[in-house]
Structure 1
Amino acid sequence: MNLDAEEIRLRLPHIELAGCLFGPKNGQPVIALHGWMDNLMTFARLVPHLRGLRILALDMAGHGHSAPRPTGASYSLFDYAVDALHAADFMGWQRFSLLGHSLGAIISAMLAAAMPERIDKLALIDGLIALTIPAQHAPGAMTAALSALASPKIRQSRAHPDRQSAITARMRGIVGVNQEAAERLAVRGLAESAEGFRWNNDPRLKLPSHIYLTPEQAHAFTRALSMPTCLILAEQGLLKVRPGVEQLLKELPLCVHQLPGRHHLHLESEQSAQAIAERFNRFFAT
Structure 2
Amino acid sequence: MSVVEEVRLSLPHIELAAHLFGPENGRPVIALHGWLDNANSFARLAPRLEDLRIIALDMAGHGHSGHRPPGASYSLWDSAHDVLQVAEQLGLKRFALLGHSMGAIVALVLAGSLPERVTHLALIDGLIPPTAKGDNAAERMGMALQAQLDLQHKRKPVYETLERAIEARMKGLVAVSREAAELLAQRGLMPVPGGYTWRTDNRLTLPSPVRLTDEQAMAFVARIGCPAHLVVASGGLLVQHRALLERLPFSHEQLPGGHHLHVNDEAGAALVADCFNRFFSDS
**CA spacing shift, 1:154–1:43, aligned 2, 3 Å:** farther
**CA spacing shift, 1:234–1:206, aligned 2, 3 Å:** same
Runs of 4+ in structure 1 deviating by more than 3 angstroms, as ranges, are: none
Q: Aligned residue for 2:253?
A: 257
> Is the aligned partner of 1:281 residue 2:280?
no
Q: Aligned residue for 1:96?
A: 95
Secondary structure at the aligned position of 2:263 is classed as helix
**CA spacing shift, 1:259–1:138, aligned 2, 3 Å:** same
CA contact (8 A) 1:112 1:118 kept: yes
Which deviates further from its counterpart, 115-124 or 139-148? 139-148
**CA spacing shift, 1:122–1:29, aligned 2, 3 Å:** same
Q: Aligned residue for 2:13?
A: 14
Superposition TM-score, scaled by structure 2 size: 0.97
Q: Aligned residue for 2:76?
A: 77
Counterpart CA distance in 1 for 2:99 and 2:278 is 17
Tell me by how many angstroms 1:246 deviates: 1.7
CA contact (8 A) 1:28 1:53 kept: yes
Counterpart CA distance in 2 for 1:36 and 1:154 is 22
Secondary structure at the aligned position of 2:107 is classed as helix
Q: Aligned residue for 2:166?
A: 167
CA contact (8 A) 1:154 1:203 kept: no
Counterpart CA distance in 2 for 1:63 and 1:34 is 10
Counterpart CA distance in 2 for 1:20 and 1:152 is 31
Q: Aligned residue for 1:230?
A: 229
Tell me by how many angstroms 1:154 deviates: 4.4
Note the 1:200-219 alignment, pairs <5 A. 200-219=199-218
**CA spacing shift, 1:43–1:92, aligned 2, 3 Å:** same
Tell me by how many angstroms 1:152 deviates: 7.0
CA deviations over 1:217-248 (Å, ceiling 9, x no partner): 1122122222100110000100123xxx4223
Q: Aligned residue for 1:185?
A: 184
CA contact (8 A) 1:113 1:225 kept: yes
Tell me by how many angstroms 1:211 deviates: 1.3
Tell me by how many angstroms 1:37 deviates: 0.4
Tell me by how many angstroms 1:41 deviates: 0.4
**CA spacing shift, 1:52–1:11, aligned 2, 3 Å:** same
CA contact (8 A) 2:232 2:255 kept: yes
Note the 1:11-90 alignment, pairs <5 A. 11-90=10-89
CA deviations over 1:24-53 (Å, ceiling 9, x no partner): 010000000000000010011101110100
**CA spacing shift, 1:209–1:152, aligned 2, 3 Å:** closer
Secondary structure at the aligned position of 2:150 is classed as coil
CA contact (8 A) 1:3 1:44 kept: no
Q: Aligned residue for 2:145?
A: 146
Opposite residue 61 of structure 2, the aligned amino acid is G
Counterpart CA distance in 1 for 2:256 and 2:192 is 38
Percent identity between the aligned chains? Answer: 52
Tell me by how many angstroms 1:121 deviates: 0.3
Secondary structure at the aligned position of 2:96 is classed as strand
- How many residue pairs get aligned? The number is 282
CA deviations over 1:97-120 (Å, ceiling 9, x no partner): 000000000000010000001000
For structure 2, the 5+ residue unaligned runs are none
Opposite residue 260 of structure 2, the aligned amino acid is H
CA deviations over 1:199-223 (Å, ceiling 9, x no partner): 1110111111121111221122122
Which deviates further from its counterpart, 232-241 or 116-125? 232-241
> Is the aligned partner of 1:246 residue 2:229?
no
Tell me by how many angstroms 1:282 deviates: 1.2
CA deviations over 1:161-187 (Å, ceiling 9, x no partner): 100000000111111111111000001
Tell me by how many angstroms 1:256 deviates: 1.0
Counterpart CA distance in 2 for 1:47 and 1:199 is 24
